[in-house]
Amino acid sequence: MRWSDLRTRIPRLDEAAMVHARNRQQQLTKPPGSLGRLEDVAVHLAGIQATPRPRVQRKVFLVMAGDHGVTAEGVSPYPSEVTAQMVLNFLRGGAAISVLARWQQARLWVVDVGVDADLPEHPGLWIEKVRRGTGNIAREPAMRREEAEAALDVGVRAVERAAAEAGMDVLVLGEMGIGNTTPATALAAVFTGQPVERLVGRGTGLDDAGLARKRAVIERALALHQPDPRDPVAVLAAVGGLEIAALAGAMLAAAARRVPVMLDGFIATAAALVATALAPRVRDYLIPGHRSAEGGHGLMLAHLGLEPLLQLGMRLGEGTGAAVALAVVEAACRLHNEMATFAEAGVSEAEA
């Protein structure tokens, strides 16, 4: 399946399953509504998976990696080489997302969508390089349109492959790409209509001068390419990223399969802006994991109408915020399925 075929194949949430799930919540041995967001999450999962008894046992983490030509402009305190170094760290199990995947008993695969280095063969790494890093968006397009489409399709294939190999009740999407808050901010500006100033942040740790430089670079890129949000693929090609395109493709594919996507932070949400521009119904399949400490993430979530589960001041990326939030989702799902009803437990209900 190609990304473009999926745009019209994303089903509506299953309203009947949601009604059944909401009814079940009312019968569980607790005051109605007393589990707060956890009840809403369980009902949402029911609508996504089209069953009143959803499950989140088979967990897949996919981390998309790519490099960014715009690092030449000094927009990150880390050198581009760190992208490849961190991919190796993922594979060896030492990165934050590796630790969280073990904790969650999830399968973790890294997808090389465009790292500017030759990575070794490894069972946890899928090499699907579209090109070696993007162009420097301050001076040239990030990629050609065909490359953006190919990167979207990398995301689609990754979801299909992971589902075939491991099954997939829930998907955590993460990314690695030194410099990628810069294209993510550009995408956010295009799709939310907010000024760069309100969206831009310090990324991995820029100082004031670096932040001002990054903002100017993004504004220059937008002025140069004049991306039109009505053509999301063109926007991706102009100011996006290879791993960001793959994330957007993966969101389309997961939604088409009725798999909930745990939404991570700034970069993943930029990808969600692309995915929902391509197919608005994707939004219904996103579970917003957390609000990042990075710049305008809250504005991006608000644009999508999503209220994050967690606000823990995280800004690491890799899918880490989504991975932590997955614990909340699992708790919600287990409570929904495993709690006794008033009738089963012989507990008196509230007096009218």
- Does position 268 interact with a second copy (CB under 8 A)? The reply is no
With contacts defined by CB under 8 A, name the span among 150-158, 188-196, 278-286, 318-326 that binds a second copy.
318-326
d(CA 181, CA 265): 10
- Tell me the closest approach of the beta carbon of residue 325 to a second copy, in angstroms: 9
d(CA 242, CA 213): 23
Total residue count of the chain as it appears in this document = 352
Catalytic residue among 121, 318, 344, 351: 318
CA atoms within 13 A on the CB side of 146: 1
User: What would you report as the CA-atom Rg of the chain, rounded to the nearest whole angstrom?
Assistant: 20
Of 310, 303, 293, 324, the closest CA to residue 37 belongs to 310
Of 176, 194, 174, the closest CA to residue 185 belongs to 194
Of the candidates 12, 31, 223, 305, which one interacts with a second copy according to CB under 8 A? 31
Q: Is the Cα torsion angle 126, 132, 133, 134 positive or negative in sign?
A: negative
- Does position 347 interact with a second copy (CB under 8 A)? The reply is yes
Catalytic residue at 197? no
With contacts defined by CB under 8 A, name the span among 88-96, 221-229, 246-254, 255-263 that binds a second copy.
88-96
Of the candidates 81, 146, 165, 228, which one interacts with a second copy according to CB under 8 A? 81
- Does position 198 interact with a second copy (CB under 8 A)? The reply is no
Of the candidates 22, 50, 77, 298, which one interacts with a second copy according to CB under 8 A? 77
- Does position 89 interact with a second copy (CB under 8 A)? The reply is yes
Of the candidates 32, 167, 195, 280, which one interacts with a second copy according to CB under 8 A? 32
- Does position 338 interact with a second copy (CB under 8 A)? The reply is yes
Give 88 or 299: the residue with its C-beta nearer to a second copy.
Answer: 88
Q: Active-site positions?
A: 318
Residues that bind a second copy (CB under 8 A): 28-38, 77-79, 81-82, 85-86, 88-89, 92-96, 99-100, 102-103, 203-205, 293, 309-316, 320, 323-324, 327-328, 330-331, 334-335, 338-340, 344-351
